[in-house]
A = this chain, B = another copy of it.
Amino acid sequence: MKLSEKKIQKKKEDIILSAVKIVNEKGYQKATMEEIAAELLMTKGSLYYYFKNKEDLIFQCHEMVLVQAIEELQQHINVKQSNEEKLREMIKTHIQYAIEKKEMFNMIIKPDQTFSEDQLNPILLKRNEYAGLFDQVILAGIKTAEFTIDEPKIARMILLGSMNWIQQWYNPFGSKTIEELQQIYADYMLKVLK
């Protein structure tokens, strides 16, 4: 029982990973079920054993990434440290995701052109949950006078927007390592908040 359920879960994850990869190379529309399957040496028919349809598959891609990312952010928040320190860590995490799992994050950015009403809502909710973690730390930082801004919501959007943009230009063979980028971004972002 447990074994076979785990097996099926593992397979689903494999498919999701493949889907994420293809979708990001080609975009949602051009990513065909055939290609997603081929990546795993399966045939497209098999995908429908695990997922109801293409939309469902892509939907679960979203879920997976966001749940993972939220968990990781939460850990930074739970650590006893200043809000500035917390935010630094969160920024680093976000950048890491945005670059290394670029594929996944891309899908989160424009769900409205991809999903039907039914599935759009849960995604937006999770997205808000994610963003809310940043809000939470920013607001806490304002209370402790670590940050001094009037528009915390907009500041958060600047944060996320600028970081999401990284994948547009980041080149692993460029002159900056990821660690350097994380450092610089954290510094510059904190300039906005202070």
Binding site for B on A (CB under 8 A): 26-30, 109-110, 113, 149, 151, 154-155, 157-166, 168-169, 176, 181, 184-185, 188-189, 191-192, 194
Residues of chain B within 8 A of A185, CB atoms compared: 154, 158
Give Cα A157 to B164, complex, Å: 11
Chain B nearest CB: distance from A59 CB in Å? 17
| Residue pair B113, A26 in contact (C-beta under 8 Å) | yes
Chain A interface, DSSP helix/strand/loop, else mixed: helix
Q: 3 tightest A-B contacts by CB?
A: A161-B165, A29-B29, A27-B113
Give Cα A189 to B151, complex, Å: 13
Can you list 28 A-B contacts with CB-CB less than 8 angstroms, sorted by A residue number? A26-B113, A27-B110, A27-B113, A28-B29, A29-B29, A29-B30, A30-B113, A109-B168, A149-B188, A151-B188, A154-B185, A154-B188, A157-B165, A157-B166, A157-B169, A158-B165, A158-B189, A159-B162, A161-B161, A161-B162, A161-B164, A161-B165, A162-B162, A162-B165, A165-B165, A191-B192, A191-B194, A192-B192
Chain B nearest CB: distance from A151 CB in Å? 6
| Residue pair A161, B168 in contact (C-beta under 8 Å) | yes
Chain B nearest CB: distance from A43 CB in Å? 12
Residues of chain B within 8 A of A155, CB atoms compared: 188
| Residue pair B184, A154 in contact (C-beta under 8 Å) | yes
Chain B nearest CB: distance from A28 CB in Å? 8
Chain B nearest CB: distance from A37 CB in Å? 15
Residues of chain B within 8 A of A27, CB atoms compared: 29, 110, 113
Chain B nearest CB: distance from A190 CB in Å? 10
With A27-B29, A113-B26, A192-B192 in contact, do A162 and B157 touch (Cβ < 8 Å)?
yes
| Residue pair B168, A158 in contact (C-beta under 8 Å) | no
Chain B nearest CB: distance from A176 CB in Å? 8
